[in-house]
Amino acid sequence: MSTNKNLLPYLALGVVCILWGTTYLALRVGVTQFPPFLFSAMRFLMAGPILIVIMLILGKRIPGGKVLMDQSVGGLLMCTLGVSIVGWAELNVTSGVAAVICSMMPIWTIIINLFANKEERPTPLIIFGLLLGLSGILLIFSEHLVEFYKPEYTNSIIAIFLANLCWAIGTVWMKKRNTGSDPFMNAGLQMLFGGLFLIPLSLLFDDYASIKWTPEILFSLIYLMLIGSVAAYACYFYAIGKLPMTIVSLYAYINPVIAVILGWVILNEKLNARILIAIVITLLGIYLVNRGYQLKNLWKTQLSKS
């Protein structure tokens, strides 16, 4: 019975695992040929209302002020400061490297939960997994040492780490705040608010003289709007409303593999044996952190019963 109950959430998570792995490529194609913040703003300002209208047609209602405020915070953290900052950074960083850094999201989630609960302490397995994951990231960076002499590259790497942290904070925030509200309506509202918050960033930092419409731009925008946003975001927020956060965060294992392969095949991004080994080490570290966290909760449950 429990398996049947969780079938849809797990299917939704599977959709997220595959689709979000492809969005790093589409995002890089878009932001390298179009003002990056404007590109993301257009994506979310079209995708959000589409999902909201669909929900209204299906009989859902716009929630009250408190829920709207919660969704605006989620949109700011996840869409504006999360996804869109990664897009801006992909002006200087390959889609594969960006995806591997973003695979650290489960680690950020666990660290945030540890800080939120002062009684929590990381186990040796969690600490080992964290160090292993970081070593994998450093091994990837060793393939791009020359790039670090460029300030824009270093700043972009730092920006991706911070954006990933914002995404993790937003995920934890929405997990606690979204109980009882419709996940699909919430996803639409978050994208709408995220797009609105991007308008001042675009006005401040984008170069509108570089606007040039091409078939690649249109395809990337439509793909990210309908597939990467409407479909994938709805599935993601449905999954985090139905499944444990540590399970949902497992999508981060699959996204970078898809992103690295697509970047190599389509954009001719660098891929060699060392980078493949580094990806495996990083994902193994993330797995060990997740596993350590799950075992810790299991031990705690068993002790409370004894």
Q: pTM surpassing 0.95?
A: no
Q: What CA–CA distance (Å, rounded) separates 89 from 223? A: 20
Domain count, the chain: 1
pLDDT by 10s per residue, the chain, length 306: 455 566 888 888 888 888 888 888 899 989 988 999 999 999 999 999 999 999 999 998 888 888 899 999 999 999 999 999 999 999 998 888 888 888 777 778 777 777 766 555 677 887 788 788 778 877 877 777 677 778 898 899 999 999 999 998 988 888 777 667 788 898 899 999 999 999 999 999 999 988 888 999 999 999 999 998 888 888 887 887 787 766 777 777 778 888 888 888 888 877 788 888 888 888 888 788 777 777 776 766 666 665
Cα atoms found within 13 Å of the Cα of residue 39, Cβ hemisphere only = 35
Q: How many residues in the chain?
A: 306
**DSSP class of 25:** H
Of 134, 20, 18, the C-alpha closest to 86 is: 20
Distance of CA 181 to the CA centre of its chain: 21
Whether the CB-CB separation of 29 and 216 falls below 8 Å is answered with: yes
Q: What CA–CA distance (Å, rounded) separates 295 from 271? A: 35
Which structural domain, as residue segments, surrounds residue 9?
2-305
Of 205, 203, 223, 221, the C-alpha closest to 213 is: 221
User: Which of helix, strand or coil describes residue 280?
Assistant: helix
Distance of CA 231 to the CA centre of its chain: 14
Q: What CA–CA distance (Å, rounded) separates 156 from 145? A: 14
Q: What CA–CA distance (Å, rounded) separates 14 from 119? A: 33
